Amino acid sequence: MIPHLPAPQPHYNSVATMIKILEEKGFLDHESVGNLYRYFPIISAKTIKKHAMKDIVSQYFDNSYPRMLAFFCQRTKSFGR
């Protein structure tokens, strides 16, 4: 199905659903090429990283960047660095 992904590959419907969600959220758009669609990003990688980091801080660290930083500092110490 998707030659660049190793087995087991996701089902076609799963991929289509994820693409639809990304389009609805404004991350992707598409253009028609014959009877196919070509998808492309409409926001920068920097914006995506910022959005992802904001979600992580919100979900796991109660919207506190200092808590997140403290967590990673403690994890680094526990690995003997």
Question: Could you read off the pLDDT of 18-74 as tens digits, one per residue?
Answer: 999 999 989 999 999 999 999 999 999 999 899 899 999 999 999 999 999 999 888
Q: Give CA–CA dist 67/60, Å, rounded.
A: 9
Q: Quick one: tokens of 20?
A: 């639809």
pTM of the predicted structure, to 2 decimals: 0.58
Query: 75 burial class (0-12, 13-18, 19+ CB within 10 angstroms)?
Result: exposed
pLDDT of 2 reads 65
Return the higher-pLDDT residue of 8 and 4. Answer: 8
